[in-house]
Structure formats: structure tokens, C-alpha cells
Amino acid sequence: MEHERDEHRLRLSRRNFLGLGVSVAAGAAVGTLLRPGWLAPALAANELTEPPVLTSRKGVLKITLEEKILPVNVGGQVRNVWVYNGSFPGPTLKVRPGDQLLIKLKNSLAQETNLHTHGLHVSPSGNSDNPLLHVEPDETFDYQIDIPQDHPAGLNWYHPHAHGNGTQQIFGGLAGALLITGGLDKLDGIRHIDDRLLVLQSSQFDINGNVVTFGTGASGMGDPAKHTHFINGQLNPTITLEHDRLQRWRLLNATVTSLYQISLEGHTFFQIAADGNPFDEPVEMTSLVLVPGQRAEVLVRGGAPGSYNLQGTILQGPSNPTITLATANVLAKKGHGRNIPSTLIPLVDLRNFTVDHTRAIHFNAQGTIFTIDGKTFDPTRVDQTILLGALEEWTIYNDQTNPAVPHPFHIHMNPFQVTKINGVAVDAHSYQDTMNVPPNGNITFLTRFADFTGKTVFHCHIIHHQDQGMMSLFEVVAPNPYRRR
């Protein structure tokens, strides 16, 4: 991806939980509608091709996104998929901190829908990132999303969030990357290297190329082993690297249900960001776990010349197969051999502040009824009320053991700092907005509810679980100035 050229300065955010913010000028190029079948030329050569990019200009990205079922070249075949602007995945939206997103959502589906900007710390009210809005068939809705000046830079995404319809719409292909530039993009050792986007999606098709109805089954997940798994709408694309040269890979798990353990034969990853938030230092790992909704940014250095499989082991379902997601071809040409920076962007450690309130939240299921604290989702019932500015400690429990099913926890609007996994203290390298809670396990995190009041949700990001009740409404309210102290 191209790098922004504007001068900027890094500064500590006024928002304790956001860490380091960035002050930058606005971007370039307003996006337009895209034609179906944009992947066809790349599929012939099978080289990884990235989605079209729509970039902000003068602080604004004004676009139309149309949701529609169209015949599109996906995985080398024409299939009838659910797409934004004819693209599988949808176009990448590229903005900067302080920009305004003006999105006219046009619903050309036969069911209601809406739009969620997953990972953005923005208002949940009105025509902003409001999951309670619904856009009916043949209607349009104008979203206005104001991105704070000190918003972290990194990889986020957008997708439908209409309760009850999200599973089929995302399973059909409705997802796209939302990239906020700045931050790590400017650091020595990162700013000059190739930047690749890898959007992971999975679906299942009948003999006519139509998306099948998502499976239910006792686990409520279907069987991901039976799905077809794509990167940028391609089957096993080729990613070209050079010996000793670094690349930055931005990975997005935009699937409904697939939990992947991702590895590249003969190579290690150096993770530098998670869920749109920068790490404080690179972390070397042989494999990376990516649950639905999560994003990760890693540095990869081309090893010995040759061909290597980018593999994904599916961590749920009856078979746990390992599949080939892509093939990395390392060329003999020696790259620049740049050093990986030893430090990145400092983390504001929320453990150094006083906790205002603690909560315990329980995820569970009986058959196909999925609950939070014993209740299914009700858009008229507020389950948690939180004071604006409060620093809270939450522990999320996964009480489901029969069958043993993971539940990736996701909260809107606010990233969090994980402090414990199954009661054992951990040192997080960044904030996150999505985190897996293993069966009969728990996670504990800290988060500050800064900047915005309003109602929004947290839920399991296995979307079928969410649609069948595993979602909860919370409201952030301003403190009462007349309350007795």
C-alpha cells in the first residue's frame, strides 16, 4: 500500500486507553463505485491481488456502498456472492485520523441491513457507528462517522450488523478493510517496505454457485472444514517475496466462524499490531492465532529461495484440518536486509490507574440458544450502564463446556488491555477489540470508556452465535453533576 507523505508528529493521546495518537493532514482521492469482476485479470496469474482502494481527500471520504448479490469471479469461478460495489471483498477504505467518513449505504438486498465500522473509536449514536439502525430493502442511509484526531492508526474493517441477518450477509461476502494511516507507517524499518493486505473469508456454495444457507448443527457454527477459504477472493494465491527482504502483512479474519492458527513454512512472524492498535515492540512467533473479527499486522522476512505454504489450521469443528491459504514464492534476488525496529509505539498501561468498577460477564449456550448472563439479546433492554470516563475491569467467562465451543469476545467503540487469561497475569503489547475466550476459560481486561456516550453492544464474534442471542446492549452515560458525593 502507498505511504502517506505528510509530516506528522507522534504524541501521547489524551485518551489513556488509546495509547499513542497521531496528528496528520487529510488524504487524497475520493472513491467511486466499482464494477463487478475486478479480480479476473489477477486470477489468471494467481498472484495475490488486493481490493481496490478508496482514499480520503481533504479530510473527507465520501462514497456510496451498495450491497447486492451479483455474479463475481471468486476463486477462479463466477459465483453469486453478496458484495459491496461488486467486490469480494469490498473496497478498502483508506482514511487518516481526523477524517470524516460519509457513506451512503444502498441496500439492494431482500432483507434489512446496516453498517458497522469494526475497530473504530467513534460515536455509537445517530447516523454514526450505530448497530441499532436498520436499513430496509431498496432504502439508502447516509452515515457520518467522525474519526478523532488522535485515533490510532492501523487495520480495521466494515461489515453488516443487522441482528439476525449478519451471519448470512457476511458468509456471502459482505466485508471490507478500513485502514487508518499513520503511526507505524512512519517508523524507520517499516515505512519503506512493501505493505500487503490479506483479507480472509470463507463461504460455501451449491452447484449453481449460490451461497448456501449457513449451517447450524449442535455447536451453532456449521463445519468450517467444509467451507471454501479465500484470501482477497482468491484460492491459494501466490505471494512473492525476496530473500532477506521484509514485507508487512496486514491480516483480517473476516469469516463468520473460522478460528485460524496461521503459519508460514520455514519462516517466523514479527507481530507489530493487533486490532488496529500498534505494539510497543515486535513479538516474534512461529504461528499466529486469528479469530473472527481479529486483525494482525506482521513483518515477514523472505528466507531461502523456494516455495512455502501459508497454512491455516482451523481450531474448531470436528476435524481441525490444516489448509493451504496461499503460497509464498521467495526469489533469489537479495532484498535490502533492513533491520526490524526494536521498539515501536509506547503502550499506556492501564494497570497504572485506579479501577472505578469491576464486572463479570458470562457467555453460555443451550442447544442453539446463545446467552450472555443467561439472557438473549433484546435491543430495548440495557444490560450494563457505565459512567463516561470510567476505567473498568471486566472478566469474561465462557461457561459452555458441552459441547466445548470458543467464544471470541468483541466490544464496540472501546479497545481494551488484556491483563489475565484464565486467571494468569499477562503483559499485553497493545490494546484489542476482539479476544477469544476458550471453553471453560476466561479473560480479564481493563478499558476506559472515554469520549462518547450512547448505546452500543458487545457480543461473540462467531456471528451465528451473535445472531442467536449472544449479544448484549450497554450504555455509556454522563455522570450526574447533581449526584451527592
The pLDDT assigned to 366 comes to: 87
pTM: predicted TM-score of the whole model, two decimal places: 0.89
Q: Maximum CA pair distance of the chain?
A: 72
Mean pLDDT (the chain, rounded):
89
> What pLDDT band is residue 222 in, cutting at 50, 70 and 90?
low
Cell digits of residue 148: 478523532
Residue 280 or residue 188, greater confidence: 280
Q: List, in order, residues 6 or more apart from 326 with CB less than 8 Å away.
A: 48, 198, 231, 236, 237, 238, 239, 309, 310
Q: List, in order, residues 6 or more apart from 211 with CB less than 8 Å away.
A: 79, 80, 81, 82, 168, 171, 172, 173, 203, 204, 205
Going edge to edge, which strands form the sheet with 277-285?
228-231, 194-203, 246-253, 295-301, 269-274, 277-285
Average pLDDT on 66-77 reads: 97
Average pLDDT on 288-313 reads: 97
148 contacts 121 by C-beta, under 8 angstroms: yes
Average pLDDT on 185-212 reads: 94
Q: List, in order, residues 6 or more apart from 423 with CB less than 8 Å away.
A: 442, 444
> What pLDDT band is residue 481 in, cutting at 50, 70 and 90?
low
With residue 253 as reference, give the H or E element that holds it: strand 246-253
pLDDT at 24 over 50: no
359 contacts 271 by C-beta, under 8 angstroms: no
The pLDDT assigned to 483 comes to: 56
pLDDT at 484 over 80: no
Alpha helices of 3-106 — where are they, by DSSP H? Answer: 40-45
112 contacts 135 by C-beta, under 8 angstroms: yes
Using CB atoms within 10 Å of the CB of residue 167, give its burial: 0 to 12 exposed, 13 to 18 middle, 19+ buried: buried
**Whole-number Cα distances in Å, 14 to 22, 434, 480:** 11, 23, 23
What is the distance between the alpha carbons of residues 158 and 97, in angstroms, rounded to a whole number? 17
Write the pLDDT tens digit of every residue in 39-65. 333 343 599 999 999 999 999 999 999
Residue 5 or residue 60, greater confidence: 60
Cell digits of residue 244: 532477506
106 contacts 67 by C-beta, under 8 angstroms: yes
Domains of the chain: 9-186 (2.60.40.420), 194-334 (2.60.40.420), 350-477 (2.60.40.420)
The pLDDT assigned to 37 comes to: 37
89 contacts 254 by C-beta, under 8 angstroms: yes
Average pLDDT on 200-212 reads: 94
Using CB atoms within 10 Å of the CB of residue 158, give its burial: 0 to 12 exposed, 13 to 18 middle, 19+ buried: buried
- Tell me the percentage of the chain whose pLDDT exceeds 70: 87
What is the distance between the alpha carbons of residues 318 and 88, in angstroms, rounded to a whole number? 28
The pLDDT assigned to 6 comes to: 37
> What pLDDT band is residue 214 in, cutting at 50, 70 and 90?
confident
The pLDDT assigned to 30 comes to: 35
Average pLDDT on 109-138 reads: 98
Angle among Cα 279, 281, 282 to the nearest 5 degrees reads 90
The pLDDT assigned to 217 comes to: 42
Residue 316 or residue 75, greater confidence: 75
Helices and strands (H, E) in the chain, number of each type = 3, 33
What is the distance between the alpha carbons of residues 80 and 208, in angstroms, rounded to a whole number? 8
* DSSP collapsed to 3 states, 315-358: CCCCCCCEEEEEEEEEEEEECCCCCCCCCCCCCCCHHHCCCCEE
List beta partners, residue 239: 328
The pLDDT assigned to 318 comes to: 67
The pLDDT assigned to 368 comes to: 84
314 contacts 256 by C-beta, under 8 angstroms: no
Residue 4 or residue 389, greater confidence: 389
Write the pLDDT tens digit of every residue in 324-364. 999 999 999 866 678 999 999 999 999 999 999 999 999 99
Cell digits of residue 408: 471470541
The pLDDT assigned to 33 comes to: 36
Going edge to edge, which strands form the sheet with 357-366?
369-372, 357-366, 391-398, 442-448, 417-421, 424-425
pLDDT at 441 over 90: yes
Under DSSP, the state recorded for 212 is P
What is the distance between the alpha carbons of residues 258 and 223, in angstroms, rounded to a whole number? 9
**Whole-number Cα distances in Å, 297 to 278, 284, 382, 433:** 9, 12, 35, 15
Note the Cα 305 to chain centre separation in Å.
32
Parallel, antiparallel, or unpaired for β 391-398 and 357-366?
parallel
234 contacts 381 by C-beta, under 8 angstroms: no
The pLDDT assigned to 482 comes to: 62
The pLDDT assigned to 462 comes to: 95
What is the distance between the alpha carbons of residues 455 and 382, in angstroms, rounded to a whole number? 8
Average pLDDT on 5-33 reads: 33
450 contacts 122 by C-beta, under 8 angstroms: no
Using CB atoms within 10 Å of the CB of residue 423, give its burial: 0 to 12 exposed, 13 to 18 middle, 19+ buried: exposed
> What pLDDT band is residue 404 in, cutting at 50, 70 and 90?
confident
Q: Which of 6-15, 319-328, 362-371 has the lowest mean pLDDT?
A: 6-15
64 contacts 90 by C-beta, under 8 angstroms: no
